[in-house]
Amino acid sequence: MRNILLTITYDGTNYCGWQIQPNGITIEEKLQRAFQRMDGSVVKIIGSGRTDARVHAIGQKANVVLNSSVPTDRIPYALNANLPQDIVIKDAKEVPMDFHARYDAVGKTYRYRLYTGKFRDPIGRNYQYHITDKIEIGKLNEALQALTGTHDFKGFMATGSSVKSTVRTIEAVEVRSVDRNTLDVYISANGFLYNMVRIIIGSAVDVAKGKISLEQLKSARDSQKRQLAGHTAPPQGLFLEEVRYLIND
């Protein structure tokens, strides 16, 4: 028996998210089928966290306890041969048997892509949020920086989640210009709530558009009232970039 940590990249466009569900195809379901086709293995896949429908991942992590003769370094090749083109296993490594991809995570980084071109981009439409109104980049960054640090982010969480604590620490936020019309926002934290990144992005965009004030955003932060924050940005601009652990990666 080995506990194997996988690094997974996927295009979430055609999936109903990470977690298996009865009414749609998911990433987890495709991975389970790939293991079965590899050597008949029936495994429980433990993801570092769920991603929603149409959300992408560059460095999703998951662990599986595996009883298989396939060498660890060959597992990515064996699985990729049985996965669709929009899901790829980039790495597999053996970790301690008590390692848990979700509970042992100490931090994550998400990237969100904003596109500000005059007309929609038919090529990139599945990977970015097209904003037609003019936004002020300085105000966007100011709004994002107002949310760094340790806060109760209940006001930036969608309903439908039951967590013991809504306090999280945003360690860093960075806005990077990709080209004249494209911005990438990187957000690193010790953990995220349900739809937290998308609500933060939507709120910062609303501040940058002048739809809500910076003071209102701070009130949403301090009062934990969802109605004071901005809209929820759409899923297709969101990428899970990295999951961090104390073990050497």
pTM of the model as a whole: 0.95
**CA 94/CA 48 separation, integer angstroms:** 16
Do 54 and 17 share a domain, yes or no?
yes
Do 88 and 114 share a domain, yes or no?
no
Q: What total number of domains does the chain contain?
A: 2
Would residue 52 show up in a list of annotated catalytic residues for this protein? Answer: yes
Do 164 and 201 share a domain, yes or no?
yes
| CATH assignment of the domain containing 39 | 3.30.70.580
Looking at the domain assignment, is residue 232 inside a domain? yes
Do 162 and 134 share a domain, yes or no?
yes
Looking at the domain assignment, is residue 100 inside a domain? no
**CA 196/CA 161 separation, integer angstroms:** 11
Looking at the domain assignment, is residue 21 inside a domain? yes
Question: Taking the CA of residue 156 as centre, how many other CA atoms within 13 Å lie in the half-sphere pointing to its CB?
Answer: 30
In the numeric block, which tokens belong to residue 118? 């005059």
Looking at the domain assignment, is residue 101 inside a domain? no
**CA 181/CA 176 separation, integer angstroms:** 11
Can you give the residue range of the structural domain that contains 74? 2-95
In one-letter notation, the amino acid at residue 70 is: V
**CA 86/CA 70 separation, integer angstroms:** 23
Q: Which of 148, 192, 210 is nearest to 174 (CA)?
A: 148
Cα distance from N-terminal residue to C-terminal residue, the chain: 21
Residue 168, strand partner residues: 151
CA angle 196, 202, 204 (to 5 degrees): 100
For residue 62, the Cα-to-chain-centroid distance in whole angstroms is 13
Do 85 and 181 share a domain, yes or no?
no
- pLDDT value at residue 159: 86
- pLDDT value at residue 162: 79
Check: CB of residue 30 under 8 Å from CB of residue 16.
no
pLDDT per residue of the chain (249 residues) written in tens, 0 to 9? 999 999 999 999 999 999 999 889 999 999 999 999 999 989 999 999 999 999 999 999 999 999 999 999 999 999 999 999 999 999 999 999 999 999 999 999 999 999 999 999 999 999 999 998 889 999 999 999 999 999 999 999 998 777 899 999 999 999 999 999 999 999 999 999 999 999 999 999 999 999 999 999 999 999 999 999 999 999 999 999 999 999 765
For residue 17, the Cα-to-chain-centroid distance in whole angstroms is 11
Do 113 and 221 share a domain, yes or no?
yes
Residue 7, strand partner residues: 61, 91
**CA 82/CA 244 separation, integer angstroms:** 27
Residue 167, strand partner residues: 152
In one-letter notation, the amino acid at residue 33 is: R
In the numeric block, which tokens belong to residue 7? 């690094």
**DSSP assignment of 196-210:** HHHHHHHHHHHHHHT
**CA 110/CA 86 separation, integer angstroms:** 19
Do 90 and 114 share a domain, yes or no?
no
- pLDDT value at residue 237: 98
- pLDDT value at residue 248: 62
Choosing from 52, 91, 121, 184, the catalytic residue is: 52
Looking at the domain assignment, is residue 40 inside a domain? yes
